Amino acid sequence: MPALAAFALIAATVGTAQASPAPSPLFGAFKAACFGIDKFDGISAAATAAGWTEIAEAQADPRVVAIVGKGREAMRKEAPEAKVSGQMFRQRFDGRDVWLVTSRIQTGKGGWANGCRAYDLDAPAAPSREAIDGWVGTAPTTIQANGTASKRRWEPWQPGVSLEITYVPRGHPLGASYGIQGLVFVSQSTGGF
């Protein structure tokens, strides 16, 4: 996400580890919905099967609506001819509402980008690096940080699909300026370019 581009690159590592249990049920529900983001037509059914409930944008947390709106506006400026579609879902984890947002962007020249994001905006703390990396099963390909905010990226998470897991604590300057806080998962796939 462009809002997180301000992070300073700390390290780039590649390694392997044996997959561990998820730090929270959210991790499994995100993976069940978003692992196949390269095949966008199946994401809605996968999300529903993983316990996510589709909602109208008007039913979503205003913070999520604002984040999605900023993304749409940026896309309109970058590629005004592009078609943008997607859905919103909600599910409760650890007593908090978490929002799942899917998106598909199709350019007039045949390019496409699929995204699946989960926003746990009120997550009180980040899971440990060891727990996240253990769940993914490998060390991230890049790690970025800005103070107490961090982003871990796996490229690829699987062939043709990348994964980012970001944590921005409440009150962090990046969160204040970009409207993002808490735990954010992003699975993406692109093609046709």
Name the domain count of the chain: 1
Where residue 4 falls among pLDDT bands split at 50, 70, 90?
A: very low
Calpha distance 108→79 (Å, rounded): 9
| Residue 108 in domain | yes
Question: How many Cα atoms occupy the beta-carbon half-sphere of 127 within 13 Å?
Answer: 21
| Residue 168 in domain | no
Looking at the chain, the whole-number percentage of residues with pLDDT higher than 90 is: 66
| Residue 52 in domain | yes
pLDDT attached to residue 8 = 25
CA separation, residue 4 to residues 41, 44, 92, 152, 180 (Å): 28, 27, 25, 11, 9
Beta strands 96-106; 161-168: pairing state? unpaired
Where residue 19 falls among pLDDT bands split at 50, 70, 90?
A: low
| Residue 57 in domain | yes
Domain limits for position 84 = 47-121
Q: What is the DSSP string of 114-140?
A: EEEEEEETT-SSPPPHHHHHHHHTS--
Calpha distance 190→164 (Å, rounded): 15
Mean pLDDT score, 117-126: 94
| Residue 87 in domain | yes
Mean pLDDT score, 22-38: 93
| Residue 24 in domain | no
**pLDDT tens digits for range 52-77:** 999 999 999 999 999 999 888 888 88
Mean pLDDT score, 115-122: 96
| Residue 133 in domain | no
| Residue 184 in domain | no
